[in-house]
Amino acid sequence: MKGRVEKMISVDIISGFLGSGKTTLIKQLVKKDHFKERVVIIENEFGEVGIDGLILRESNVAVKELNSGCICCTIVREFEKSIKEVIEQFKPERIIIEPSGVGKLSEVIRTFEIAELKEMVKIDKVITVVDVFNCELYLENFGEFFGNQIQHAKTVFLSRTQVATQIQIEETIHAIRGLNTQAHIVTTALENLKSQELSGRHMLQMVCADGCGCHHHSRQDHHHHADEFFEVWGTETKKVFTESVLRKILVTLSREEDFGLVLRGKGVLKVEDDVWTQFDYIPGEINISGMTSSEIGKICIIGRKLNRVHLEKLFCEQV
């Protein structure tokens, strides 16, 4: 970029573990015209095959995709370059960052300490989306990543509350409070959010530094990067699926002995000659919904100890 920007650009970071619903939240923010400024979304996906960028573009907002790694791990300099390109090309007044679901929020925040970025942008909202049904499971097994996202959030939105019991919601809030005593927690279903819940003052707090006394650094941080802990398999395909066959395929992903531990599956696939569908998989839940169009089918699977040969056969060979 040439010189400094005339006015500091606001940045919102919307994080959340795999399949938590952060893309859904961003779509709601855009749909409800929450942002009055010129907005650009920077979408960071862990795998080489980008899915969420396709979905967000349906909201008629500019999207910049960063694939093949996490902002906080392997592509810090690419992220810095992308911020500059976005500012130069789109002249945004606000940038929304959607980090990879396996990224550490603390390290995403830390990337903004790069001297040149500090002269261009300032962090505004810091949000984490937490899935009520998988909170305990993810804390127990992936606390280094999932817990970090909760610890460093200023606002936590709970997802899937519309199908949860009050006891499940209260247990999730209790778990969050064990990691972060000050974050504002929003329990309204993402699809039913009201304007005041999207724009309250609680969402406008600046990020504090480590050691600030906010009591959200209670657990010791480890130092694994996402690519040391999680694996990704992805592919592009021209294959045409039927919805019933696709659903059967997704159901089988729960068989850890065959495919490894699948934590997240998502994709955009053709189901008829000119009909496209979007699918989402997390343990215990499958969603399939319509989508306008795509140039080619895309599939992304994230997990641990993935059996790539079996995944290839499942999606690419099954009739």
pLDDT at 13 over 90: yes
Distance, CA of 45 to chain centre:
8
Amino acid at 122: K
Q: Give tens-digit pLDDT for 93-120.
A: 999 999 988 888 998 898 888 878 888 9
What is the structure's pLDDT at 77? Answer: 72
Q: How far apart are CA 236 and CA 50, in angstroms?
A: 10
Amino acid at 260: G
Question: Per CATH, the architecture of 9-204 is what?
Answer: 3-Layer(aba) Sandwich (3.40)
- The mean pLDDT of 287-296, rounded to a whole number, is 82
What is the structure's pLDDT at 133? Answer: 94
Distance, CA of 57 to chain centre:
15
Q: Are 97 and 13 in contact (CB under 8 A)?
A: yes
Residue 21 CB partners (closer than 8 Å, separation 6+): 129, 131, 157, 159, 160, 190
Name the class of domain 230-316. alpha beta
Report DSSP letters for 111-144, one per residue.
Answer: HTTSHHHHTTEEEEEEEEEEETTTHHHHHHHHHH
Please tell me the pTM assigned to this model. 0.82
Q: Give tens-digit pLDDT for 271-280.
A: 877 789 989 9
What is the structure's pLDDT at 309? Answer: 96
What is the structure's pLDDT at 50? Answer: 52
- Exposed e or buried b for every residue in 65-86, given b needs 16+ CB within 10 A? bbbbbbbbbebbeebbebbbeb
Top pLDDT among 219 and 88 is at 88
pLDDT at 66 over 90: no
Distance, CA of 317 to chain centre:
29
Give residue 127's pLDDT band: very low, low, confident or very high (50, 70, 90): very high
What is the structure's pLDDT at 47? Answer: 56
Edge-to-edge order in the sheet of strand 155-159: 62-66, 39-44, 94-98, 9-16, 121-131, 155-159, 184-186
Q: How far apart are CA 152 and CA 183, in angstroms?
A: 9
* Dihedral Cα 281, 282, 283, 288, nearest 10 deg: -30
Q: Where are the domains of the chain?
A: 9-204, 230-316
Please tell me which of 125-129, 190-194, 239-243, 292-296 the model is most confident about, judged by mean pLDDT. Answer: 125-129
Give residue 202's pLDDT band: very low, low, confident or very high (50, 70, 90): very low
In this structure, what DSSP letter does residue 249 have? H
